[in-house]
A and B are shown apart, each in its own frame.
Chain A
Amino acid sequence: MVTESLRTLPSSDELLDQAGRLRADADLMAGYARRLLATASALTGCPAAPEWSRPTLEQQAAACGTAAEQLRTAAEALLAHRRA
């Protein structure tokens, strides 16, 4: 029992850190989505920009947004696991 309590403490902190990192990464991913959208709009009106560029960048920005959501969900799940 004593051994159990000693091992739980550091792992709880690590889980907390990981959850924090996942949240930060989720914010970063949301930021990347905005950067990709900004790039897509910068290319609007550029004569050299290929037609596919804008929809592709928007699609990838959307994927960044989805990834951000899922990273937040994972962070919440980690915190719930830590609390359990």
Chain B
Amino acid sequence: MGADGHIRGRTAQDEQDAKELLRRCARDVVDVAEAIREVSARTSTALFAPTLTTSARRRPRTGLVAQWALLRALTNKEGLGGSAITAAKGMGRVLGAAGEVLGRESLAALVAVTSLRLRIAAVLFDHPEFERDPGMRRLLDAVTADRDLEAVRALRALFRDQGAQRALSGLAPLMAELLAIRALLDEDPKNDETGWALAAGRELSADPLHGISASHLAGMDQGEGAAEAVDLTDQERQTIATEGSLLGFLRNIEVLSTDGRILVQNVRGPDGVVRYVVQAPGMAPGRPRNDSPQDFVGAWRNLFMTDSPYTRSILLALADYGIPRGAELALIGHSEGGIAVMNLAQNEDFCRAYRVTHVIVVGSPVDNKKPADPRTWVASITNQHDIVPVLDGRGAGSAFNPHPNWYEVDYTGPTHEFPLCHMIREYIEHLRTVIPEAREDVDKALTAYRGPVVRTRAYQLKDRAHPPEGYPFLTVPTTSLATTTGPVDVPVRYYDSSAAHLCFAVDAAAARSLLPDVTWLVPSRLGRRALAVLSLYEHRCSTIGPYAEIALSVLVDDLWRPRPFDVATDLLRRVDLRRTGRYVLSLAVSSEESRVVAQEVWGQPAVRTAAEVDLMNRAVGVTAPELGLTVEGRLGPGLRCPEADWVLYGRRGDSTVRTLVRAHGRLRLHTGTGVRLQLDTAAAEPMAGQLRRLGIDTARPLFVLSCPQFMLHRSAGAVLPR
């Protein structure tokens, strides 16, 4: 091998001719293979034809001879081969499958494998490193010789020696051929169609690995699609290209990342005409199914189907963007984004509405697709070591070129590791340094789009339109109230909270002594005792931000007409009709905004303190060092109870403030035995003195109400004239 990468003594033209000859021979051979397969199918039909079966029963002497001759022609391993019998059902199907299971491949399959091996030879001519690598050589030998166990061992060894990433990317240029050979030679007849499609360069309709129907997988990807205009961050806005160019559009895709967004831009071309550019990123990493259409299942559907939530979402985004009918469009996509934009380009209605002038895809398997408008200029750029573009069954060694009019670049980049070689950043770098001529060619084709960007809009795509967060519980009318830290929307809504309410039976006189010095505010009595509640909250998401909350309150009677058993009867009433409630004696919160809201909107005596609260599971852990308060323990299984709404009372000047709290979550009632409260401070304020006076510092809760995850909203405080 010379420094130029060519074998000594041969010119680049010789090598090109040799590869072309191999690919041409591979095409010829697979044509023969398909024709032999058709002969086998016709011979099978003759063998199982009802005419012959019926007449052979009547004239068995000659009939059986004819049947035997046909069976021999179909099963002779020196002729059409062991599993040449092809029948959709009945005995023919059983015999055909039996032939495969016994490892007697049909002549048609063997000839197709020869074609695939010639394609592999063409790839190896470009990648001599595969033949030098003993692991890869072992795998190639095992697969082409149909030695499954040996193939599995070789693949395992390859992964062990090189690491999965290198091994996968090393196999990428040969992936389609290896999968086809495996499908043709394995014992599972279900894989045959996939193998033949891969060998003959036909459109795939099933998973190339396991013959799983694409429609089956695509069925998981349901949704009408949705698109919502979103703002770019300041940093993103600064990096978005301001001039139209291939690298600029690809860099925009890189900026968008794979979080379900696409970008639509207006570009004023050199001729002064405004054109539109759609830029679609690839598949998002992570779970196969997520809320975004850019997931694995979506990619799979895009690959085999012409319609998907991704494609539908882009259509909705374009409708929202307001592109006039007949406007010129360039569609740019990476990976799954490339498949989605190609799906758009092959949509006849779409092409009637807009003039799709260019489709440029990078690292996308789009060979199964074809634009509806024959004038559309298509460019496909792929790295031979990138596995993703091989998913359509056309690898580096493919003997077929289904789109001779496309501008295709299938180059060998310096990055071989997958998924690195699939990343848009690598493609951008390679277009800059490895294949600059391809970049120049595409930019030349995009001349009409090479001007200033005059408008940019990002859209968040989704599988389906979703109701607002917290719907319907938290979709309530709101009003804005002024506070010293700025306006606050009320009701304050809490989208994700945890709570534990530690309920203590306390001395009624002690509770009364902590309440404001007014005659009409008295603790509700449970026999001779009153009920104090230490509420611990972890608000992870709320309209006033995340914060922790520790509140000490006492149950109080109706402010105007206190009656015995008010508490019991109130439990049967709607919260807005209740007269009893909890008077908040003291409140500690971990954020300034929540302190101000509690103080100014709800009239509660709030202080700001640091607190760590963990109430997501049965273990309760609350630490507030400034309060000297620690609550630890483990809650038992508990009983489900109805959702508890509350009325909270506070004081503002000479008035009482009444706040309604509505909650939605799974509340549970526990015994208080597993929870322990510890007070490590000699100070009285804040809260510790009250806890001591109520005797809570040494007592166990009577019971605990807990809710590890729930939503709530707190109304604006209503000022009562008392």
Question: A: which residues have CB within 8 A of B?
Answer: 8, 10-11, 14-15, 18, 21-22, 25, 28-29, 32, 35-36, 39, 42-43, 46-50, 52-53, 56-57, 60, 62-64, 66-67, 69-71, 73-74, 76-78, 80-81, 84
- Determine if B351 is an interface residue (Cβ-Cβ < 8 Å): no
Please give, as numbers and ranges, the residues of chain B lying within 8 Å of A84 by CB-CB distance. Answer: 59, 61-62
Stretch at the interface among B50-58, B368-376, B405-413: B50-58
- Given A15-B51, A28-B35, A39-B28, A80–B65 Cβ distance below 8 Å? yes
Cβ-defined partner of B118 (8 Å) among A29, A47, A53, A77: A53
Q: What is the minimal beta-carbon distance from A44 to any residue of chain B, in angstroms?
A: 11
Report 26 cross-chain contacts, Cβ distance below 8 Å, ordered by A residue: A8-B55, A11-B54, A11-B55, A15-B51, A15-B52, A25-B42, A35-B32, A39-B25, A39-B28, A42-B21, A42-B25, A47-B15, A48-B121, A49-B21, A50-B118, A50-B121, A53-B118, A64-B107, A67-B107, A70-B69, A74-B43, A78-B66, A80-B65, A81-B52, A81-B56, A84-B62
The answer for the CA separation of A15 and B66 in the assembled complex, in Å, is 10
Query: In the complex the two chains form, is B76's CB within 8 Å of A77's CB?
Result: no
* A47 touches which of B14, B43, B62, B79 (Cβ 8 Å): B14
Give CA–CA (A6, B249) in the complex, Å: 75
Interface SS of chain A? helix
A25 touches B43 (CB 8 A): yes
Residues of B within 8 A of A (CB): 7, 10, 14-15, 18-19, 21-22, 25, 28-29, 32, 35-36, 39, 42-43, 46, 49, 51-52, 54-56, 59, 61-63, 65-66, 68-70, 72-73, 76, 78-81, 107, 110-111, 114, 117-118, 121-122, 125
Q: Which residues of A contact B14 (CB under 8 A)?
A: 47
**A48's contact among B22, B36, B39, by CB below 8 Å, is which?**
B22
Count of A-B residue pairs with CB < 8 Å: 147
Chain B minimum-CB-distance residue to A56: B114
Sort A-B residue pairs by CB-CB distance and give the 6 closest, nearest first.
A70-B73, A48-B18, A67-B79, A74-B69, A81-B62, A77-B69
Across the interface, B39 reaches (CB within 8 A) one of A14, A29, A42, namely A29
Does the CB pair A77–B36 fall under 8 Å? no
Task: Give chain B residues whose Cβ lies under 8 Å from the Cβ of A74.
Answer: 43, 46, 66, 69-70, 72-73
A32 near B32: Cβ-Cβ < 8 Å:
yes
Chain B residues near A22: list those with CB within 8 A.
Answer: 42-43, 46, 70
Which B residues are CB-close (under 8 A) to A80? Answer: 62, 65-66
The closest CB in chain B to the CB of A40 belongs to B25
Best-surrounded residue of B25, B35, B49, B107 (most CB of chain A within 10 A)? B25
